[in-house]
Chain A
């Protein structure tokens, strides 16, 4: 056997192994979560767990005890999660939909790019920063007319709504722009105005794509943790008014995992499993819709339109039809009165304002402290000092970013190469890998945190460490890296591969010399965005890496708080508001800087690949 053949075989083996690792990661998450939760569910009873509305755990409850002295029912939290999701969908869905229409059809051409990257920036802001903004801006504002400090369903829905908006916008925008231009032109040729054409034909044709974007938004809202924890109040109660402190499923895990007893810990992992089930259902629905979305957008088919049609048939004379008539009549008015256009423009402007508000408010409040308090950035950590320094956190964050990319980029890249360059379509193994990647992508960050706690932390001596946190986030990064790499590999024309093969080059040489360099812009921006993600995340770290700022770490076995976790700590304690502002500023600069860099690099490299004339 000659060396080329050996190279080819080794390459293919490595790519396959990477893909298998992805599958193992998914399987491990599900298996470990189930193993940890089944004893608790046995003890509590599945029905009592899901439909019991009393959550008062007892830390002394153990599996070997004959009876439990605490109660473990999570119904209140389930209702809380659903209520917050509905609220977020009402706010973020409406806002996102109209913003998408605005960017696609009403925005002046010159501003279009700015608005699109603005939406990307909104998506990049860490969830702790949103939560912090909620604490220092939204809650005091709401407190003016609320019976309490402002926390509760309204604040949660507002913050969550803003957070899911970018998701809704980007997918809706894509499907709106995928509608054939001939629809719009056809409407104009019949005498429609611009707005009548947009709202009469284009938005209707993009219906299932927009629905898919809303479903994806629901998934985000269900799994969101830190921002909600910071504004919901977190009492175990039903969300029966706009300003009642309540608790969601994710919050339940974060609030109690740190000091949970044996049964309690099992119940919390089980809470994670329930969350996972919710997200899985949402993902399945999304998968079903999005497959048909673009096609259905054009043909007016798709899962949801079928469901709606069935409803029309069965409930012809009910109250529902009357409502529909009313809505239809109202829609007619929208068209003629151009209210839709107004809403679109309003939403676009509002989205811009929010970005400026969040960033501006935190900068104005926080930036001065960065300059007047050098100890904050450059000081040495002292155990008994009142003065906070975030230097250890910055170093911890950098260590995490470096190692997690070292782990997940090679595995992700190799998996993507396997999927795009080696996989034959519709092979069973390929379907499993793709399914695994899709599943990983939907798992909420707090579930990763739980998984990391019951596996990596347990493996590495039972205490949290930077290593355990890094391993956790590495798995979390995989789906993003695999997907975006695969997208960029797909965009490399087959004619280049054929050209290389026709010259006698083997598959490995073709991949490394032709395909990967051509896909580099996409891959680079995926890597940079992953860096941003590591910096922004906090839920996966709290119980794997630690949540207390301590002395500058000297090894990966030390425990410490990343910047995002530090912000959560500082804002929760209430003593160090100024320091929290300053930390938020550093976080925003890092994350937004990386976002901009990603766009820049992708653009620059693309230009270079297009050829310098």
Chain B
């Protein structure tokens, strides 16, 4: 299979030092430093508006789209300063993202998955066929979808659409996968399938997931970070965070006293 051409080799770990972020006058992130290890699942938890999604979107620079957003601090993916002189599109190819609501494009299943590879210049049918099959197999959807590759992706169920979006991200051959509450709009069965999938994917990929669901974090995450009002309150192995939190605020949150 023809590999997508790499100009810049991205590593698989993320390290952030002294990150601050403002939306206009409002400071959404306050002095955050964090090291996210490679090929593990890291979960960001915290109440709504605590800045966890905002922080996640710094890693593929989706915050660039927001008017009046100002970012300070050091963001490294592997050895690369992602706010330095880089090609943003290439960064996003290497750091994939799955959104809260499934967002399949209004085109066929096949074209959805081939969108990323085509963006980076793969046009041969044989190559594309191979990538589509591989990505769908990775997302455990090949058997479900192999007979309807040419049907519109909008005809799929919500859970299928979300897994298709994961397969679409995988097709771009990313090093890191960011997931922004990927199961919050789905039923328990679809959620289970996606969690199994993440277990499988972390063999090759670093996964960072934002979740509202603390059980989900305990089920899937190796490390967990707790955010509150734009601050990173506590960060450590998931076991430590949920069994012996060091900060009182973390304890109150995970025991359900606010949220």
Q: Spell out A's residues near B (CB within 8 Å).
A: 2, 4, 424-425, 493, 495-496, 498-506, 509, 513-514, 517-518, 608-613
Contact = CB atoms under 8 A, between A and B. Distances in A.
Contacts of B93: 503-504
Interface string B75-93: 0000000000001011111
Those 10 A-B pairs whose CB atoms lie nearest each other, nearest first:
A611-B154, A504-B93, A611-B152, A502-B97, A495-B103, A611-B155, A504-B92, A499-B103, A613-B155, A503-B116
B115 interface: yes
B116 A499 contact: no
B155 A612 contact: yes
18 contacts: A424-B67, A496-B103, A499-B168, A501-B62, A501-B65, A501-B92, A502-B96, A503-B93, A503-B115, A504-B89, A504-B93, A504-B116, A504-B120, A506-B89, A514-B105, A609-B106, A611-B153, A611-B155
A4 B62 CA distance: 19
B107 interface: yes
Given A610-B154, A612-B152, A499 B99 contact: yes
B106 A517 contact: yes
B252 interface: no
Nearest to B107: A517
B221 interface: no
B175 to A, nearest CB: 12
Contacts of B99: 495, 498-499, 502
Contact of B62 (A2, A498, A506): A498
A503 B93 CA distance: 5
A424 B94 CA distance: 28
Contacts of B116: 503-505
Given A498-B62, A502-B60, A502-B99, 19 more contacts: A495-B99, A498-B99, A499-B99, A499-B105, A501-B62, A501-B65, A502-B96, A503-B92, A503-B93, A503-B119, A504-B94, A504-B172, A505-B116, A505-B119, A509-B119, A611-B151, A611-B153, A611-B155, A612-B155
Given A498-B62, A498-B99, A509-B119, A503 B106 contact: no
A509 B89 CA distance: 11
Given A4-B89, A509-B119, A612-B152, A500 B105 contact: yes
Nearest to A506: B89
B172 A495 contact: no
B169 interface: yes
B101 interface: yes
B139 interface: no
Interface residues of B, number: 33
Contacts of B168: 499, 503
A502 B62 contact: yes
Contacts of A424: 67
Contact of B169 (A2, A503, A517, A610): A503
B154 A609 contact: yes
A506 B87 CA distance: 10
A500 B115 contact: yes
Given A424-B67, A612-B152, A613-B155, A503 B103 contact: no
Contacts of A513: 115
A514 to B, nearest CB: 6
Interface of B: 60, 62, 65, 67, 87, 89-94, 96-97, 99, 101, 103-107, 115-116, 119-120, 151-155, 165, 168-169, 172
A612 B148 CA distance: 11
Contacts of A425: 67
B152 A503 contact: no
Contacts of A503: 92-93, 96, 115-116, 119, 168-169, 172
Contacts of B60: 502
Contacts of A498: 62, 65, 99, 103
A488 B153 CA distance: 21
A523 to B, nearest CB: 14
B67 to A, nearest CB: 6
A613 B154 CA distance: 8
Q: Which of A425, A499, A504, A506 has the most CB of B within 10 A?
A: A504
Residue among B60, B89, B92, B94 with most chain A CB within 10 A: B89
Contacts of A611: 106, 151-155
A378 to B, nearest CB: 44
A532 to B, nearest CB: 27
A425 B67 CA distance: 9
A2 B94 CA distance: 18
Contacts of A499: 99, 103-105, 165, 168
A502 B103 CA distance: 11
Contacts of A612: 151-152, 155
B106 to A, nearest CB: 5
B103 A504 contact: no
Nearest to A613: B155
Given A498-B62, A498-B65, A509-B119, A504 B105 contact: no
A518 B152 CA distance: 13
A519 to B, nearest CB: 10
- Residue picked from A496, A500, A611, most chain B C-beta under 10 Å: A611
A425 B65 CA distance: 13
Contacts of B62: 498, 501-502
Contacts of B89: 4, 504-506
B30 to A, nearest CB: 25
Contacts of B172: 503-504
Contacts of B90: 504
Contacts of A500: 105, 115
A273 B90 CA distance: 55
Nearest to A608: B152
A352 to B, nearest CB: 36
B65 A505 contact: no
A122 B89 CA distance: 49
A496 B105 contact: yes
B130 to A, nearest CB: 18
Contacts of B101: 495
Nearest to B169: A503
Nearest to B98: A502
A608 B165 CA distance: 20
A493 B104 CA distance: 11
B206 to A, nearest CB: 16
A518 B103 CA distance: 13
Contacts of A505: 89, 115-116, 119
A518 to B, nearest CB: 5
